[in-house]
Structure 1
Amino acid sequence: MTHSTRQGRRRSPTPDELRAWRGYIETARALDARLTSRLQKESGLSTGDYTVLLALSEADGRRLRSSELADAVGWERSRLSHHLRRMEDRGLVRREECAVDYRGAWVVLTDDGAHAFRSASVPHLRAVRELFVEALDPDQLDQVAALTAALRDRLDASR
């Protein structure tokens, strides 16, 4: 009995499944690369900057605890800390001590950061529309939403 037989139903993806997987991955990477390039060129922000600024702009009082921000953007805390230091140097965010818990800090969106985010959002959302939304009809957009929700549910369930 082979190892895979003992494991039960575990099997490799079929050629058609692999074709779908590669198509998804290669397209997602190409789309991400194009959006990243345009965001950087049109606004001077990286996708990491934009992701952090988006999370802070949506937060109450334009502030989050650093642990909450790490969870919101899906990054390890060490990666976030290094990125925040670079963003602080550019005046996009600032860190403030938390009066309730001295181990934690607030990450606060500055006025300059809010302005940079708003300025970047117009061309970025235009690029999202051009490269993603306009490539699909309404039914396909609904299918993409359903597919990504199913994938997200599987990822969340496997934590």
Structure 2
Amino acid sequence: MQEEPWQLAWTTYRALRLTLDAKVAHDLEAETGLSMADFEVLAETDGVLRDPAEHCVRVNALAVRMRWSTSRLSRQLGRMQQRGLITREACELDGRGDDVVLTKAGRRAIDKAMQVHAALVRTRFADLLSDDQVATFANLCGLLLDRSAASGDARHRTARKGVAPGQRSSP
């Protein structure tokens, strides 16, 4: 029995995503010592903190932005704190939650890892396609994300904006 075109597209997409994610994660850890989870937390935290309007990153807001559960993020932050990549401090605004702060070691690690990650993505993905193919792929992914958001997936819509359902947009 032959697969339907949508089944072939889905299974090929899954195989591609799993394969590329695994290879990039393996190479990133080999070159930087950071796991992909470390990298994702540092990159997201760094991205927020580079905005001059942001002075802190709340743990719960970071979990929403990353589409992770708060408990998963808290466990990851604990491991990263033990290694000196981040610290957690009581929020100055209301004291009800923790803020994530990059340490100097964390800043150095993400600065290096961003360069390594970009090179890995170019080597394992972008360089294997033409510019037109990259643009087409990006357009298709954007279309699927937009249609997923339009179909009523409230978690997806708010996560793309970085705000959890029922949460205010500012800390």
Residue identity over aligned pairs, in percent, reads: 37
Deviation at 1:79, TM superposition (A): 0.2
Q: Does the residue aligned with 1:144 lie in a helix, a strand or coil?
A: helix
- The separation in 1 between residues aligned to 2:37 and 2:9, in whole angstroms, is 28
5 Å-filtered alignment, 1:10-159, equals 15-60=4-49, 63-157=56-150, 158-159=153-154
The amino acid of 1:47's aligned partner reads M
Out of 20-29 and 56-65, give the one that drifted further: 56-65
Q: In the aligned structure 2, how far is the partner of 1:105 from the partner of 1:149?
A: 33
Aligned residue pairs, count: 146
Bigger Rg over Cα: 1
* Counterpart residue number, 2:159: none
Instruction: Give the gaps of 5 or more residues in structure 1.
Output: 1-13
SS in 2 for 1:51: helix
- Which residue number in structure 2 is paired with residue 5 of structure 1? none
Residues 63 and 109, structure 1, Cα contact 8 Å, conserved in 2: no
Amino acid aligned to 2:114: S
Question: Aligned partners of 2:86 and 2:143: how far apart in 1?
Answer: 34
Shift of 1:62: 6.7
Aligned to 1:10: none
The AA in structure 2 aligned to 1:153 is: D
Distance in 2 between the 1:37 and 1:47 partners? 8
TM-score under structure 1 normalisation?
0.86
Measure how far apart 1:55 and its partner are: 1.1
TM-score with structure 2 length normalisation?
0.80
Shift of 1:105: 1.1
1:93–1:109 Cα contact (<8 Å) kept: yes
Distance 1:38 1:99 in 2: 38
Secondary structure of the structure 2 residue equivalent to 1:107: strand
Deviations 1:21-78 (A, max 9, x none): 1111111111111001101111110111101111111123673011111112110000
SS at match of 1:151: helix
Please tell me the root mean square deviation across aligned C-alpha atoms, in Å.
1.5
